[in-house]
Amino acid sequence: MQRRQATAAPRLEAARRSLVVLLLASLLLALLPGSADSDEPALLGPRLQEVIATDPLGTHTAAVALDTLLDPATELAFDTLGLDHVGFDNFPVAVVRGTSTALQGLQTVPGVRSVWLDHKLDQVLAESRVVMGVDTVQADLGYDGAGVGIAVIDSGIEATHADLEFGTKTIQNVEIVGAQGPEYDGPLTALAVPVENVPDTDNVTGHGTHVAGIAAGNGARSNGRLRGVASGADLVGIGAGEIYLVTTLASYDWLLSNKDEYGIRVLNNSWADGSIPYDPAHPLNLASKAAYDAGIVVVQAAGNGGQASGDVYNRYAAPEWVLGVGGVDKLGNLGSYSSRGTAGRHVDVMAVGSYIASTMALTGASGTPNQLPCDATDPSSPRCLSGNELTYYTYKVGTSMAAPHVAGIAALILQAEPTLTPRQVMDAIIASAIPVPGCAEIDCGHGLVNAVAAIEAAHDLAAPPLEAPTAAISATPSTGEAPLAVTLDATGSVDTDGTVVSYEWDVTSDGEVDATTTTPTLAHTYGVGRHTASVTVVDDDGLRSVPATVEIVASDAPHAVATAPERAKDDQVVTIDASGSSDPDGQIVTYTFDLGDGTVIEQSTPVLQYAWDIERPTRFTWVVTVTDDAGISDAVAGSIKVTPGGRY
């Protein structure tokens, strides 16, 4: 494999200067292309996090996963941090060396996905837990799957093993008994009968015992070192023998009838068939859909068909309601055994499936194929179980080993957020997976599971959705003669789950924010015309409301003109004529006549005829008020002397 050597950055002469270099580097990195729009900080592997905390001035070597092959901009960032570096030609990974503080600075370098401390591999289940962040979830977040039931439909569970003890760890163990296989010709009532409370149901292959230990074994025989992913979860074994179709369907049937009694929220299926046509209505797919609909997360192995034969992806892992799991080795490389799918049907996520040490069946199933004493991840330096461990544990390889890792993570999530639906659990696992560098989606799906990020995603899904605030606005006055001084008031705005913290005002209705205030009122003076003002409110979560609007009309006032005779007799009908009134920027819509004798008449026409009723000579003052379509008024007044008896 060809690699290109990048120019090494100048080495720091003294470790004490590393903090200063990092501060200067941060300023430069902020100016690099793309840094202003960077995503979440890059993941730092657990071992690297540990050395940063315990040896901040030490110098270490790490592998950096990148978005692309090492490019000049990233090289400049490495140089700025004081890191020596070399990039590979064929996949986007770089090796760097520098102080712990400088390595921590890689979190903010654009294009860096993750950073992992170089270390000697210890090829046991404990290491697969670290690779996928499970140890961090257990140690730092305090989740071990307690209170969650994981069912395992497989060859069975040997619950006489201390790690899987019947009654405490394995709270129910069911054996599907009766003749199996297509040649069976006996009564169907004797075929695939579930028998409960069987301490040892794994007397065929030992496969289910190994799978169960990965998902939730407590590690009793290894002082906890080889414990499972959800070591605090309850196990329910459903032993389907050699896993025929009918026995597996019977296992599902028992599961659905008893899920509530045993708190089963997760089901692991480490069996596959990639040779049949995919049919979502296949009996086993219908069974898994029923389990999903009943609130169970269904995890299914991808199968061990590899990548050479095209689409060999497990047809029972293909439905959208099933979480399909492929396998990588402990170095994060695609396992040669993991089944390839298609663009439309492929694994959802990957988990470590190579050389996994877990519980070994101790009776008739021991010594079966795919039980290995050593981990050959590094063939030149295989790691073998100790003498005591060889009695109780064995290594196995395959997506059968990858799937229960994910089933265990699902149990951790459900302990953390028990109200999540199966779809939400699956979404949290899928969305938080880390892409496998250089691995196509048909082989690796969304990437390697990340237990810590999955828990965080689950918390986000479980949190009630934030409510956007609601804006309200009024204007006082809303109409009047121009120039019109108006107070815009948004005190009626509300935020049901927080506080309104700012008000964005568009006083001219041009789509632009004219003012932003922390108080709910704003004064503005409007010229002649009809205007729309709006306010958008922002709450303490940064959510914005839909704009609220109000109309303001500022108008030139109308001009009132009215004529009437100066004298009249008490029986004479008098005409008061306001038709000479005018409005320069609209029209008059209302004429109000106050006739001075307590009579007020409002009408839409400008002429009024009226006769006063008197007993002695009286002078009346009349007033005509005209109001235009903007609501603005003007008035004119006059007087008339009314006499009785026909005398003026």
Cα–Cα distance measured from residue 607 to residue 562, given in angstroms and rounded to the nearest whole number:
9
CA–CA distances in Å: residue 614 to residues 611, 641, 646: 10, 11, 11
Alpha-carbon distance of 489 to 270, in angstroms, equals 64
- Buried b or exposed e, range 287-298, using 16+ CB within 10 angstroms: bbbbbbeeebbb
Catalytic residue among 400, 493, 545, 581: 400
Is 400 considered catalytic here? yes
Residue with tokens 């632009």: 512
Residue among 409, 397, 394, 382 nearest 338 (CA): 397
Find the radius of gyration of the CA atoms of the chain: 40
SS3 string, 363-380, reads CCCCCCCCCECEECCCCC
What CA–CA distance (Å, rounded) separates 76 from 454? 33
Contact 625, 560 (CB under 8 A): yes
Please pick, among 207, 405, 446, 524, the residue that the annotation labels catalytic.
Answer: 207
Q: Does the annotation count 207 as an active-site position?
A: yes
The amino acid that residue 517 corresponds to is T
Contacts with 181 (C-beta within 8 Å, 6 or more apart), sequence order: 244
| Amino acid at residue number 158 | E
SS3 call for 165 = coil
Which residue among the candidates 154, 202, 311, 628 is catalytic per the annotation? 154
Note if 531 is an active site residue: no
Burial classification of residue 613, based on how many CB atoms lie within 10 Å of its CB (0-12 exposed, 13-18 middle, 19 or more buried): exposed
What's the CA gap between 447 and 456, in Å, rounded?
A: 17
CA distance 222 to 393: 9
Please check whether residue 392 is in contact with residue 360, taking contact to mean a CB–CB distance below 8 angstroms. Answer: yes
3-state secondary structure 373-421: CEECCCCCCCEECCHHHHHHEEEECCHHHHHHHHHHHHHHHHHHCCCCC
- Alpha-carbon distance 42 to 491, whole Å? 43
* Catalytic residue set: 154, 207, 400
